[in-house]
Copies of this chain bind each other. A is one copy, B any other.
Amino acid sequence: MSTTSDLRVGVVGAGMMGTDHVSRLNHRTVGAVVSAIIEPDPRRAAAAAKAAPGARSFARVEDALDAGAVDAVLIAAPGQLHEQILLPVLDAGLPVLCEKPLTPDPESSWRILEAEQKQPRPLIQVGFMRRFDAQYRELRELIISGAAGQLLMLRCVHRNPEVPDSYTQKMLITDSAVHELDIVPWLADAAISRLEVRHARRNPRSPAHLDEPILVLAELDNGVLADIEMNVSIQFGYQVGTEAVFEAGVARIGQPAGLQLWHDGRFQVADHQGFGARFKQAFDTEVQAWADAARQGGIGGPSAWDGYLAAVACAAGVQALDTPGQVTVELPAKPAFYAGPGTSAGRES
């Protein structure tokens, strides 16, 4: 690849996720290079700088923009900081990959949409990496093909080994179910119209302030019903999967695969131990697709509109956590700006 066109990426946030993206960009992404680390914490910044030899360090994204140090920005900072980071990047007209959530609430996400629409075309790709996972893609193709007839139900599981102490009940929706609230409409090609939350018997091993597992019931405007098991502190493994019920078949993704070992009277298959292993291919493909699109000045995945939809669904989901029965999800019409080519809405290949 001609080296003169390498995309110079500024990575905002040098926590675990940001550091992971630095390594991905420099070692597993063709045509991109980390040219700047933007991180206010000096210790974190110094640690990240070691992994990105040629990169400059900045405390604020505005400084990196002013210095002309970046062609594009990848945001891996905490969600509540996203708005203040996104706005100057949009002003500068640079492509950006923003880790989910776009912002923590529908109102701030709407403000981002307004700012982005002042640009000639969408610049923000949101980090819903599941859309790049080979199995989710294969399932979506099966749905679109109609080979098994119409899709009727989605039965999802989101099982995660453990969460940090700072994880709250509300984050069951905004931090974890958000992935399902993006992927379910994407798979079913329809919008969420109603949400309900049901509580199962509480897991005694969950942190004291968490009441889980819960079952999130999402009804889509084409009638498809999804029941989503959220189970984030199971300790014994990691499993994200979906069973899709069609009129003429049932498909299943996310099942354990790999080396099979028959040992000690049991036939075993190694399972995934965390989202990093389960979604390594999805993250790599996502960032490569983004880098390829960003070099052309656009996006190559879910748009800010998708981020906004998820923010609205999450707000309804949080309300449903404490509301008996169903909570209605109200959505504005989709701006034409997000309908054209170059956005991820609709069916990207």
Which A positions have Cβ atoms within 8 angstroms of B?
1-4, 6, 26-30, 33, 53-54, 134-135, 138-139, 142, 148-153, 155, 159, 196, 198-205, 213, 215, 217, 219-220, 222-225, 227, 229, 231, 234-237, 239, 245, 247-253, 255-271, 273, 324-326
Contacts and interface: CB of A to CB of B under 8 A. Distances in A.
Q: How many copies of the chain does the oligomer comprise?
A: 4
A20 to B, nearest CB: 16
Given A235-B248, A266-B271, 15 more contacts: A3-B6, A3-B33, A30-B30, A135-B259, A138-B258, A138-B270, A150-B201, A152-B200, A159-B250, A200-B224, A215-B227, A234-B247, A234-B248, A256-B262, A262-B271
Contacts of A223: 199-202
Given A1-B26, A153-B213, A251 B258 contact: no
A132 B210 CA distance: 37
Nearest to A231: B245
29 contacts: A2-B33, A3-B3, A26-B30, A134-B258, A138-B258, A139-B259, A142-B261, A149-B205, A150-B204, A152-B202, A153-B200, A153-B215, A155-B155, A198-B217, A199-B223, A199-B225, A201-B223, A201-B224, A201-B225, A205-B248, A237-B264, A239-B250, A248-B263, A249-B261, A250-B262, A251-B259, A252-B262, A265-B273, A267-B271
A267 B215 CA distance: 23
Contact of A148 (B27, B255, B263): B263
A256 to B, nearest CB: 4
A264 B249 contact: yes
B247 A264 contact: no
A325 B229 CA distance: 19
A253 B259 contact: yes
A27 B1 CA distance: 7
Contacts of A6: 1, 3
Nearest to A220: B201
Contact of A252 (B1, B155, B259): B259
Contacts of A256: 262, 267
Contacts of A220: 201
A199 B252 CA distance: 21
Contact of A267 (B4, B135, B196, B268): B268
B271 A265 contact: yes
